[in-house]
Amino acid sequence: MTVTTLPTNHQLIEQWRRQPAPLLPLLHAFHERDGYLSEDAMRSVATGLRIPIAELFGTVTFYHHFKRDANERSVPRVCTGPVCVRFGAGQLLEELDGQPMPCAGRCDDPIPVLRDGTAFAGTRAGSLTAHLSPLPPPHPGDFEECVFAHIREPGRAKLDGYRATGGYEALRRAVEELSPEGVIGLVTENGLAGRGGAGFPTGQKWTAVARASGGPKTVVCNADEGEPGCFKDRAILCHDPHAVIEGMLLAGYATGASRGFIYLRYEYPEAFRVLHHALKEAEDAGLLGDSILGSDFAFRIHLRRGAGAYICGEETSLLNSLEGKHPFPRNRPPYPVTHGYEDLPTVVNNVETLAAAAPIVRRGARWYANLGLNGQAGTKIISLSGDIQRPGNYEVPMGLPLKTLLYDWAGGPEAGHTIQAVTMAGLSGGFLAGDDLDVTLDEPSIRSKGSFLGAGGIMVFDDRRDMIAVARDAMAFFAHESCGKCFPCRIGTQRITERLAGEAGPTELSAWIDEVADLGQTMKAMSACGLGLAAPLITESLLKYFPKDVARHVERTGHDVRGDR
Ligand SMILES: Cc1cc2nc3c(=O)[nH]c(=O)nc-3n(C[C@H](O)[C@H](O)[C@H](O)COP(=O)(O)O)c2cc1C
Ligand code: SF4
């Protein structure tokens, strides 16, 4: 019989304390060993990393994943995101006696359950299975893909499979034929903009880091993907991890960075294993480390896991989280390009942005730019879910009509039903409905309707859905995830959730609308990050497209408050 000896507190501290960004991996190591973070573990971490114990408590309790009670060790967490609710998340939660978890990024494969570090999916307690993320559906259009062009090929997640279709050729081209400015030139000319939500031009970001003084410089891959309805990064990470690693290497070469981090959301344990293996393969093959491909370029990547906090996807909150600080967003300026990780110049890019870099360097700026339609550059991956026949990740040419995606590519709604509304940018872009579903999938078109494409999550709601309840749950998500740093966001998201839940507030329609609009405007004027700026779009778009539903809701609230029903 083999007896496994668990590592001691001292051994765990010694393993991690000299590593870059040690707090999260150390906390995870204790959490995995004991199933929760005990008082004793917390004290050891505080002493080992020289963090005041009160500060450490504040940081640890901010994250949803870390359990502090030994009795909760094996309690599963069940996704209660907008799509999973429709698939019966409430019932599954009861069956498993679990804890609710905000959207876990598996809307194409519901319902995700996390137990003992493994992700399962299924709609009933007896049908849960642990399996790898679904591949993107077969590409339905006549258009060429960029990021997904090879992702469906067998063995693509392994180094040999990746190399079989040109993998690491862009890196070779960069270090052997191109200067760092040459790589930045290619990424700038093609019009690539960030795919994580804000759409900032990638070439401009890389140029700013290349020109910034101080070092070592850092490249951070933002793989936190916490936006409800977004699950594209998970597909890339699970099935094409070397594309992301090669993208980070190109960013490092172009900007003069020598270290990289992948910050992966905790809810993707299978992606963690795939990435861990891919990084080891790349190191063993001399693609990471010193003298990469015989050049004088040196670059190392460290894999770090978050611990369940949507706000950690915001780049400055992510940087604080990596540094072991309380993950509040930072005040900006200064921006991460000059004052990022450890206050040094840092590129933060989304997974999809980085995965597009290698094909662009291999095939040229013009090729990528021409993939878009009607003057829009490149492609965008849309995570499509909800009341649609073929949910999944679709790489569309920028500028494709939304209805072509919904009806021709994804089969439209279930027979006998119509599409009532869709969300944009996951939840952050609010709703689009009615004639506004005639937009094309690009920022100018969607912004002209008061929304934005962002990270590209689109959830579909058919005519059976109660849009007031959908809006209430969306606002409850923002209230739950508001980090609390800004008073208007912390209180505003809470108050609006209560109004949408029919709890107290004005019982007269115009007063109700004025109050909700006032809360939204204050949040927009006073919030320090995109969460507080975006949340009011939920109620603005609800009022725009569903005024009669709002009027009925307020009337019902009035009856309830007066008790005359
Ligand atoms: C509340 C909030 C959450 C965010 N979550 C993510 C995320 O999960 N992944 C991501 O790449 N960007 C996220 N962003 C955007 C990042 O702050 C940042 O703009 C992005 O990582 C930059 O990469 P890109 O230029 O390649 O898009 C979020 C922003 C906000 C305000
Ligand atoms: S806007 Fe909200 S989430 Fe963003 S920093 Fe302020 S309180 Fe935190």
Model confidence pLDDT, tens digit, residues 224-263: 999 999 999 999 999 999 999 999 999 999 999 999 999 9
Peptide linkage before 311 cis (omega within 30 of 0): no
Q: Which residue, among 154, 151, 165, has the nearest Cα to 379 in the 3D structure?
A: 151
Rounded CA-CA distance 418/434 in Å is 11
In eight-state DSSP terms, residue 113 is E
Sequence-ordered list of residues with C-beta below 8 angstroms from that of 77, at least 6 positions apart, any chain:
65, 98, 99, 100, 101, 104, 113, 114, 115
174: amino acid identity, one letter: A
What is the pLDDT confidence band of residue 384, given thresholds at 50, 70 and 90? very high
Task: Give ligand 2 pocket residues (Cβ under 6 A).
Answer: 311, 329, 482-486, 489-490, 527-529, 531-532
CA of 132 to the centre of ligand 2 (A): 33
Please report which residue ranges of 323-430 form alpha helices under DSSP H: 336-339, 351-363, 365-369, 402-403
Q: Mapped to the 3 state alphabet, what secondary structure does 423-445 carry?
A: ECCCCCCCEEEHHHHHCECCHHH
Rounded CA-CA distance 517/557 in Å is 18
- Between 355-364, 451-460, 507-516, 553-562, the lowest mean confidence (pLDDT) is in 553-562
pLDDT at 131: 82
What is the pLDDT confidence band of residue 551, given thresholds at 50, 70 and 90? very high
pLDDT at 564: 55
pTM score over 0.85: yes
The CA-CA-CA angle for residues 293, 295, 300, to 5°, reads 70
pLDDT in tens, 41-50: 999 999 999 9
In eight-state DSSP terms, residue 139 is P
What is the pLDDT confidence band of residue 562, given thresholds at 50, 70 and 90? low
The share of the chain scoring above pLDDT 70, in percent, equals 98
The pick from 310, 312, 497, 531 for probing ligand 2's pocket by mutation, whose C-beta has the most ligand atoms within 8 angstroms, reads 531
The gap from C-alpha 220 to its chain's centroid, in whole angstroms, comes to 14
Which residue has a Cα nearest atom 22 of ligand 1?
A: 349
Q: Give the three-class secondary structure for 310.
A: helix
Q: 515, exposed or middle or buried, with CB in 10 Å at 0-12, 13-18, 19+?
A: middle
**Could you tell me the CA-to-CA distances from 320 to 79, 199, 377, 482, 526 in Å, in that order?**
26, 22, 33, 16, 21
User: Do residues 252 and 128 lie in contact, with contact meaning Cβ atoms separated by under 8 Å?
Assistant: no
pLDDT in tens, 8-46: 999 999 999 999 999 999 999 999 999 999 999 999 999
Q: Would you say the C-alpha torsion 310, 315, 320, 323 has a positive or negative sign?
A: positive
What is the pLDDT confidence band of residue 132, given thresholds at 50, 70 and 90? confident
The gap from C-alpha 535 to its chain's centroid, in whole angstroms, comes to 16
The pick from 205, 328, 348, 524 for probing ligand 1's pocket by mutation, whose C-beta has the most ligand atoms within 8 angstroms, reads 348
pLDDT at 1: 58
Q: Which residue, among 485, 480, 391, has the nearest Cα to 58 in the 3D structure?
A: 485
pLDDT at 70: 94
Q: State whether the beta carbon of 329 lies less than 6 angstroms from ligand 1.
A: no
Q: State whether the beta carbon of 197 lies less than 6 angstroms from ligand 1.
A: yes
Rounded CA-CA distance 136/275 in Å is 19
Whether the per-residue pLDDT at 561 is higher than 70: the answer is no
pLDDT at 4: 74
Q: Which residue, among 59, 52, 73, has the nearest Cα to 27 in the 3D structure?
A: 59
User: Do residues 367 and 352 lie in contact, with contact meaning Cβ atoms separated by under 8 Å?
Assistant: no
pLDDT at 191: 87
**Number of Cβ atoms within 10 Å of the Cβ of 74:** 10
Whether the per-residue pLDDT at 565 is higher than 90: the answer is no
User: Do residues 413 and 384 lie in contact, with contact meaning Cβ atoms separated by under 8 Å?
Assistant: no
Q: State whether the beta carbon of 195 lies less than 6 angstroms from ligand 1.
A: yes
Rounded CA-CA distance 374/279 in Å is 39
β-bridge mates for residue 433, sequence order: 421
User: Do residues 470 and 209 lie in contact, with contact meaning Cβ atoms separated by under 8 Å?
Assistant: no
Helix (H), strand (E) at residue 385? strand 379-386
Which residue has a Cα nearest atom 8 of ligand 1?
A: 225
Q: State whether the beta carbon of 107 lies less than 6 angstroms from ligand 1.
A: no
Rounded CA-CA distance 60/39 in Å is 12
Q: Tokens for 547?
A: 């005024």
β-bridge mates for residue 264, sequence order: 223, 305
Name the one residue in this structure whose structure tokens are 């909150």. 317
pLDDT at 140: 81
Q: Give the three-class secondary structure for 152.
A: coil
Rounded CA-CA distance 138/135 in Å is 9
**Could you tell me the CA-to-CA distances from 8 to 15, 28, 43, 487, 529 in Å, in that order?**
11, 14, 14, 42, 40
CA of 198 to the centre of ligand 1 (A): 7
- Phi then psi dihedrals of residue 83, to 5 deg: -80, -40
